[in-house]
Amino acid sequence: MFFVSDNAAPVPPEVMAALTRANEGYAMPYGADATMAGVRASIRAVFEAPEAAVYLVATGTTANSLALALYCQPWATVFCHRAAHIAEDECGAPEFFTAGAKLTLIDGADGKITPAGLDAAIAGSALGGVHNVQRGMVSLTNITEKGTAYTPAEVAALTAVAKGYGLPTHLDGARFANALVATGATAAEMTWKAGIDVLSFGGTKNGLMGVEAVVIFDPAKAWEFELRRKRAGHLFSKHRFLSAQMQAYLQDDLWLRLADQANTAGQRLAAGIAATPGCALAHPAAANLMFATLPRAAHRRARAEGAAYYIMSPDSSMEGADDTPQLARFVTSWCTTTADVDRFLTLIRG
Amino acid sequence: MFFVSDNAAPVPPEVMAALTRANEGYAMPYGADATMAGVRASIRAVFEAPEAAVYLVATGTTANSLALALYCQPWATVFCHRAAHIAEDECGAPEFFTAGAKLTLIDGADGKITPAGLDAAIAGSALGGVHNVQRGMVSLTNITEKGTAYTPAEVAALTAVAKGYGLPTHLDGARFANALVATGATAAEMTWKAGIDVLSFGGTKNGLMGVEAVVIFDPAKAWEFELRRKRAGHLFSKHRFLSAQMQAYLQDDLWLRLADQANTAGQRLAAGIAATPGCALAHPAAANLMFATLPRAAHRRARAEGAAYYIMSPDSSMEGADDTPQLARFVTSWCTTTADVDRFLTLIRG
Amino acid sequence: MFFVSDNAAPVPPEVMAALTRANEGYAMPYGADATMAGVRASIRAVFEAPEAAVYLVATGTTANSLALALYCQPWATVFCHRAAHIAEDECGAPEFFTAGAKLTLIDGADGKITPAGLDAAIAGSALGGVHNVQRGMVSLTNITEKGTAYTPAEVAALTAVAKGYGLPTHLDGARFANALVATGATAAEMTWKAGIDVLSFGGTKNGLMGVEAVVIFDPAKAWEFELRRKRAGHLFSKHRFLSAQMQAYLQDDLWLRLADQANTAGQRLAAGIAATPGCALAHPAAANLMFATLPRAAHRRARAEGAAYYIMSPDSSMEGADDTPQLARFVTSWCTTTADVDRFLTLIRG
Amino acid sequence: MFFVSDNAAPVPPEVMAALTRANEGYAMPYGADATMAGVRASIRAVFEAPEAAVYLVATGTTANSLALALYCQPWATVFCHRAAHIAEDECGAPEFFTAGAKLTLIDGADGKITPAGLDAAIAGSALGGVHNVQRGMVSLTNITEKGTAYTPAEVAALTAVAKGYGLPTHLDGARFANALVATGATAAEMTWKAGIDVLSFGGTKNGLMGVEAVVIFDPAKAWEFELRRKRAGHLFSKHRFLSAQMQAYLQDDLWLRLADQANTAGQRLAAGIAATPGCALAHPAAANLMFATLPRAAHRRARAEGAAYYIMSPDSSMEGADDTPQLARFVTSWCTTTADVDRFLTLIRG
């Protein structure tokens, strides 16, 4: 009953096996390994984007920050949701990598920006000529930080607003596979076909040790990306071990199968919580991440049996009135079992 | 006969086994894994530094740049050898992480700075008050980029110059284990006992997939380091896999055994080259890295049989006069075999 | 009838005379001019702060940005009002000078932050340890961007909140003299006695050509400030001309007399607008800056006679229905005449 | 006998008069003043560059740093002379404005880079692909920091080397007028006709209070320059006072007359020193700046009578052997008199 985070899960055996296979003899360093060529071809094929530039880094913060720095000038701003990972959870990495760009925070229900909200934010910005920061780009997250999903049509509606202002767009896909599984979209439909210019293609939350791809649909940006990556310490000498993980991830749709497992568990968990008297989801749960309020007594019973997850309410104490609602975050992963979910549901039902 | 770089070598079985062991169940992310506590304790023990702050990152450029940023203000300069990795091979990462500090390049034979050279460089700098950049810190590299080693006494003599000006000191120990093996020094003797304030403790070139430790002997700097690391995208969620590698590295002195293997091979290779008519080492070879001039015919014979290494001369062609001397770089690693070395020596001797 | 901005006004004769006097013979450059010593002493006396560090720069953006950079780390955030000049009107200068700090924007009526609002913003921030940016400092503006004033007690209440979190505080005093005149406070009461650590002491909007002082109440910060100023290109070689302006500004309370003239005109204008049927002030007008809605016909009549000021409504056209209310900004300066004000009031009254 | 620096001289009466004239009524701020349009036109005419973008800033460090930031990426390097002002005297401002670019320092006699020296520096750089910083741009200084001058042909030879590598070029013209007077070149001949892309056009050292123009021969860079200037706090609200100074400077060739006065005095001083037994110029003196060794007794006599200038020798004491040679720097300005020069020469001759 471990629902703390998908990034606390182990690595699937296919990936461990790939690492072992990769550990044969010498390999040219810094991305010149033979495996990387295959990874690049695979990702281009998955995305139906034969010209895309594809790079591997080790953390999601890095993927996001490099992508933003590639498209947003230091004197510009990135329009994003107030709860975006780039705004809330990266200790100012976007500001560091962009040399001081701003983030303009947009409110929106369930972690989602609406086209009207985006349009209002952009239209209301940069009205003072040289005196204020300029409109830079738009960054979306899918699965959102609240556990909801944008459909390709929703992404397209948002990028259409951005394009109306001439702005490039980034998609933070730390849970990109979960978003595809949740929506049934293809990788292409969710990205370039929906107007996305650069994608953080997550691997770590979905089973890898620490590998994310950055997929840049305009290959003219490739060399600048390489320089920025190296300069930030994110070019790996023993790159073959990143390549090998990503190769295994893509092989036989492992990435989609892992996400499907996580989402299936998440959907079972969400439906079970929603059906539990006194419990309520805070947002629609589209994938493997959800927020829900449960009465304290339910938390107490689950915790007593070892369930692990974050309580987000300021009052997170297990001491106090039984029926006080407390907001919690639950994340399932590729290795969450049905038994775990069901045991948790039994516990909260008392 | 692969002498391109130690960072192109595979990972020893102990490390692979540790990764497999680490891949059990869930682990708290971001360095809160249980293994990291052990790693911290082990490094403190190895360094006889019970208060040291210890952090893991994935690349040497990162370890160096974060260490420099921790001690050097943006308006100051880092005194280092002209050939230093931080100057030549990191695409300006020190400038990026420090928000624009300078590097002051110091010449010195065989990749080594002398106390007199360091003193002259510092004394000749920052004479214009607010108008020039200030004296920031000193960075040394051991094993140096030319394959030579500083003894602890040499390090101490250099840090004494630095301390005379009130400057902190960094040691780039990408090949720290090789330096200890080469000099017989302990980790403490080579670092804080010799006046070093912060160390990049290399793992990757000596057998890990991609793990370096930063050892900060003044724990008051710890929190700032954590913020800088996160902000640069170098805090790993699945940190346990870094911890596990480092744990295996330290276990039963694996790190020193690996370095001993690399150095032994390197010394055999260096001695063999030096003893070959027409060949000469460019610098004393202290460990597993060396530069030597060989006549083109020798290179041609070795290459024809698959020997791999960099020729550094502008004229690196295999076509041309047989006796033209060409400078080459050779690096041995933990998995270089005696047979490989001897076969190479046989080939260059024709 | 020029109400566009106080920074479009000319320079009073006392300042021109001081420039002429300063233009005698040679003077040591870079702030070593004799006049600067007197300026420093005068500002310390005015602020009853005998230890304060005092520096001159040429623009308000510079004064603010250097002050923020002095106190806010790159991985931290500055809490300020959503309408703050540092947020809206400096093209990201705070982000540039701080190497990428954030601004956390706080809403508040009439351009003012409340203690509760500030407390909520700080308390709600930086709850994620290393994952989010840290609490950095608080920046207030007085006269606010909406033309209101903080009393010393209000400033003290806000800095008390900041100090409760251990945060330093900055006051953007681009219109500091106007704030003192508006509230009757002394310079000390409005700053360090009210808990302010660093002040941008405006001169340009109140009659100087382009001189602002930065007053740092903790002199331990002095040398870092000097380095940051030089590094940003803001140390003037012919510094005597900045010193001379500031000297004249302080002489015989010229700065307060100029602000009194501007405020008197502003108060007359505000009262007149408020008393005009169909017109209304958008915020209480405390000094020389105000926002008011006037019917389009009133604007049309005033503009036709040459009145100059900004219309802030999206529909700023003079074409259209007579009674459409349009929001405008009016700023008076030291040289605004009663005749100008009265003529304007006559015009808008039709 | 004030030879400390040309930036310690007063402002000529034409400039003071222009300031007084500019101080009439209101003027639109931030460069929208009417005078600036005339300045732009005048500079374009002077440079025979009808499309050039022209901006004013207040310090030479700013002009240089903004020009470099406009053309040099953060991951690149600026090739310049080891003694360049941007390297030695700006406290790392180029690194700050460029977000961390490097400077590659080139040696060369008499403060001048040779085409061969430049070619060697560029050719020897950036050989490691993504691992090192990239070739960014070339920056020259004329009058050089050693008081010598480049002819237009020499500038053209250097920019030809730069262009051969595809690199843009900057000219630090803090003493641009002095360079034109020294060489007889026109402004166009010394800049774009000689391959210069962006010029720091100095005013302050040649008589202005604090105004430099940046002349960008490719107008496509204009908007980015405006944003960078604003963001660095260098856009002046009361810009008319910068415009007025520059207008007076250009009017009736005042700028060239001032430089002619400075150079004439400098040449008289240089010739006189060179003709004095025991004294020697350290470099050819082309304009108003020179370095010379004089015996201590000569310095002692001059200083005793009030001569002011910097002694550069580490031993700058007036105590000691009479005949010890001490290196000094002498700078004349537009207001240096023949009498001053001759009196100094008489004194050093004893």
Q: What pLDDT band is residue A8 in, cutting at 50, 70 and 90?
A: very high
Residue A38's pLDDT band, with cuts at 50, 70 and 90, is very high
Answer yes or no: do C102 and A88 touch at CB < 8 A: no
The reply to whether B21 touches chain A by the CB within 8 Å rule is: no
The predicted-structure confidence for B248-266, as pLDDT tens digits, reads as follows 999 999 999 999 999 999 9
Size of interface A-B (CB pairs under 8 A): 142
Q: Domain spanning A256-348: which superfamily?
A: Aspartate Aminotransferase, domain 1 (3.90.1150.10)
Q: pLDDT (tens digit, 9 = 90+) per residue, C243-288?
A: 999 999 999 999 999 999 999 999 999 999 999 999 999 999 999 9
- The token pair at A347 is 């516990």
Which residue type sits at B90? Answer: E
Query: Which chain A residues touch D99 with a CB distance below 8 Å?
Result: 74, 99
pLDDT tens, residue by residue, C166-189: 999 999 999 999 999 999 999 999
Q: Name which of C91, C100, C131 is nearest A96 (Cβ-Cβ).
A: C100
Nearest to D133 among B91, B101, B132 (CB): B91
**Segments making up each domain of chain C, as ranges:** 12-252, 255-348
Taking a C-beta distance cutoff of 8 angstroms, is the pair A28, A60 a contact? no
pLDDT in tens, A51-104: 999 999 999 999 999 999 999 999 999 999 999 999 999 999 999 999 999 999
Q: Residue by residue, what is the 3-state secondary structure of chain C? A: CECCCHHHCCCCHHHHHHHHHHCCCCCCCCCCCHHHHHHHHHHHHHCCCCCCEEEEECCHHHHHHHHHHHHCCCCEEEEEECCCHHHHCCCCHHHHHCCCCEEEEECCHHHCCCHHHHHHHHHCCCCCHHHCCEEEEEEEECCCCCCCCCCHHHHHHHHHHHHHCCCCEEEEECCHHHHHHHHCCCHHHHCHHHCCCEEEECCHHHCCCCCEEEEECCHHHHHHHHHHHHHCCCCCCCCHHHHHHHHHHHHHHHHHHHHHHHHHHHHHHHHHHHCCCCCEECCCCCCCEEEEEEEHHHHHHHHHCCCECEECCCCCCCCCCCCCEEEEEEECCCCCCHHHHHHHHHHHCC
Q: Which of B332, B344, B340 is nearest to B303 (CA)?
A: B344
- Return the CATH class of domain B11-252: alpha beta
Site of tokens 């031993």: D315
Q: Give percent of chain C with pLDDT exceeding 90.
A: 100
Contacts of D82 in chain B (CB under 8 A): none
User: Would you tell me the crossing angle of helices C13-22 and C240-250 to the nearest 10 degrees?
Assistant: 140
User: A174 in contact with B at a CB cutoff of 8 Å?
Assistant: no
Over the stretch B171-197, which tens digit does the pLDDT of each residue have?
Answer: 999 999 999 999 999 999 999 999 999
The CATH number for A12-254, chosen from 3.30.750.24, 3.40.640.10, 1.10.3720.10, 3.90.1300.10, is 3.40.640.10
Q: How confident is the model over D164-176, as pLDDT tens digits?
A: 999 999 999 999 9
Chains that contact A by 3+ CB pairs under 8 Å?
A: B, C, D
Q: Would you call C230 an interface residue with chain D, using a CB distance cutoff of 8 Å?
A: yes
In one-letter notation, the amino acid at residue D1 is: M
> Is D59 touching A (CB cutoff 8 A)?
no
Q: Helix or strand or coil: residue B292?
A: strand
Residue range C137-168, pLDDT digits in tens: 999 999 999 999 999 999 999 999 999 999 99
Interface probe for C, chosen from B66, B95, B130 (most Cβ of C below 10 Å), is: B130
Q: Do C102 and A99 touch (CB under 8 A)?
A: no
Record: contact D237-C29, CB cut-off 8 A: no
pLDDT of residue C145: 98
Q: Which of chain A's residues have a Cβ under 8 Å away from the Cβ of D235?
A: 130
The distance of B56 to chain C (nearest Cα, Å) reads 15
Residue D195 has a pLDDT of 98
Query: Is the minimum CB–CB distance between D128 and chain B shorter than 8 Å?
Result: yes
How far apart CA B65 and CA B200 sit, in angstroms, is 9
Q: Which residue of D has its CA nearest to B132?
A: D91
Q: Name D31's Cβ contacts closer than 8 Å, sequence gap at least 6.
A: D55, D56, D235, D236, D239, D243
CB proximity A88 to C under 8 Å: yes
Residue in D7, D24, D57 closest to C29 by CB: D7
CA gap D100, B101 in Å, rounded? 7
- Restricting to A residues 254-313, those with a Cβ less than 8 Å away from any Cβ of D are none
Cross-chain CB nearest to D8 (options C27, C60, C96)? C27
| pLDDT at residue number B128 | 92
Secondary structure of residue A194 in the 3-state scheme:
helix
Beta strand pairing status for D289-295 and D325-331? antiparallel
Amino acid, single-letter form, for residue B8: A
For residue D178, what are the contacts with CB-CB under 8 A and spacing of at least 6? D143, D206, D259, D262, D263, D287, D288, D289
Q: Are A138 and A79 spatial neighbours (Cβ–Cβ below 8 Å)? A: yes
Distance (Å, whole) CA D76 – CA D104:
10
Maximum CA pair distance of chain A? Answer: 62
pLDDT, mean of residues D266-291: 98
Would you call B99 an interface residue with chain D, using a CB distance cutoff of 8 Å? Answer: yes
Instruction: Give chain D's largest Cα–Cα span.
Output: 62
Q: By CA distance, what is A10's nearest residue in B?
A: B23
For chain A, how many residues are written?
Answer: 350
How far from each other are the two terminal CA atoms of chain A, in whole angstroms?
A: 16
Chain C: residue nearest B134 by CA?
A: C227
CB contact under 8 A, B90 and A59: no
CB contact under 8 A, B130 and C226: yes
Residue B7: which pLDDT band, with cuts at 50, 70 and 90?
very high
Q: How far is CA C39 from the centre of its chain?
A: 20
**Residue C134, CB half-sphere, CA atoms under 13 Å: how many?**
19
Q: Does D227 touch chain A (CB under 8 A)?
A: yes
Query: What single-letter amino acid sits at D11?
Result: V
What is the spatial distance between Cα B86 and Cα A344, in angstroms, rounded to a whole number? Answer: 52
Nearest CA in chain B to C97: B99
Q: Which residue has the tokens 């910097």?
A: D310
Instruction: Report pLDDT for A7.
Output: 93
So what's the pLDDT on residue C200?
98
User: D100 to chain C: nearest residue by CA?
Assistant: C99
Mutate to test the interface with C, among A80, A91, A98 (most CBs of C within 10 A): A91
Does A92 lie at the interface with C, CB-CB under 8 angstroms?
yes
Q: Would the CB atoms of A131 and D230 count as touching at under 8 Å?
A: yes
Query: How confident is the model at residue A80, as a pLDDT?
Result: 98
Q: Is the Cβ pair C128, A103 closer than 8 Å? A: no
Average pLDDT over chain C reads 97
Question: Are the CB atoms for B332 and B266 separated by under 8 Å?
Answer: yes
Mutation to test the A interface, candidates B55, B56, B59, most A Cβ within 10 Å: B59
C-beta atoms of B209 and A238 within 8 A? yes
Q: Most C CBs within 10 Å: which of D1, D97, D231, D336, as the mutation test of the C interface? A: D231
Contact assignment for C75 to A88 by CB distance below 8 Å: no
Give the list of residues 6+ apart from residue C283 with CB closer than 8 angstroms, or none: C110, C111, C146, C147, C148, C290, C291
Element (H, E) at D172: strand D169-173
Q: Which chain C positions have a beta carbon within 8 Å of B74's beta carbon? A: 99, 231
Among candidate residues B53, B62, B150, the one with its CA nearest the CA of residue B109: B150
Q: Which of A24, A59, A333 to mutate to test the interface with B (most CBs of B within 10 A)?
A: A59
Rounded mean pLDDT, D225-243: 98
Partner-chain contact C132 A89, CB within 8 Å: yes
Q: Which CATH class is domain C255-348?
A: alpha beta
Task: Provide the shortest C-alpha distance from residue C232 to chain A (in Å).
Answer: 15
pLDDT of residue C251: 98
Which token pair is B179?
A: 């330096």
Q: Give percent of chain B above pLDDT 90.
A: 100
Q: How many residues does chain C have?
A: 350
pLDDT of residue B173: 98
CATH class held by domain B255-349: alpha beta
- pLDDT tens sequence across B227-242: 999 999 999 999 999 9
Identify all chain D residues contacting C236, using CB atoms and an 8 Å cutoff: 58-59, 210
Query: pLDDT class for A207, splitting at 50, 70, 90?
Result: very high
Tell me the mean pLDDT in the region D141-157: 98
Identify the bridge partners of residue C253 per DSSP, sorted by sequence position: none
CATH of C12-252, one of 3.40.640.10, 3.30.465.10, 3.40.50.920, 3.40.50.460: 3.40.640.10
For residue B106, name the pLDDT band (cuts at 50, 70, 90).
very high
**Helices then strands (H, E): number in chain D?**
14, 11
Instruction: Map tokens 């079970």 to a residue.
Output: A272
In terms of DSSP bridges, do strands B53-57 and B212-216 run parallel, antiparallel, or are they unpaired?
Answer: antiparallel
Asked if A100 contacts C99 with a C-beta cutoff of 8 angstroms, the reply is yes
| 3 state DSSP class of A175 | coil
Do the Cβ atoms of C88 and A132 come within 8 Å? yes
- Is B95 an 8 Å CB contact of chain D? yes
pLDDT digits over B60-102, tens only?
999 999 999 999 999 999 999 999 999 999 999 999 999 999 9
Of B62, B55, D76, B67, the closest CA to residue B78 belongs to: B67
Mean pLDDT of the residues in chain A = 97
- Partner residue opposite C210 with nearest CB, options D27, D96, D238: D238
Is C89 in contact with A133 (Cβ distance < 8 A)? no
Percent of chain D with pLDDT over 90: 100
Instruction: Enumerate the residues of chain C whose CB falls inside 8 A of the CB of residue A75.
Output: 91-92, 96
Distance, in Å, from the CA atom of A175 to the CA atom of A203, rounded to the nearest integer, reads: 8
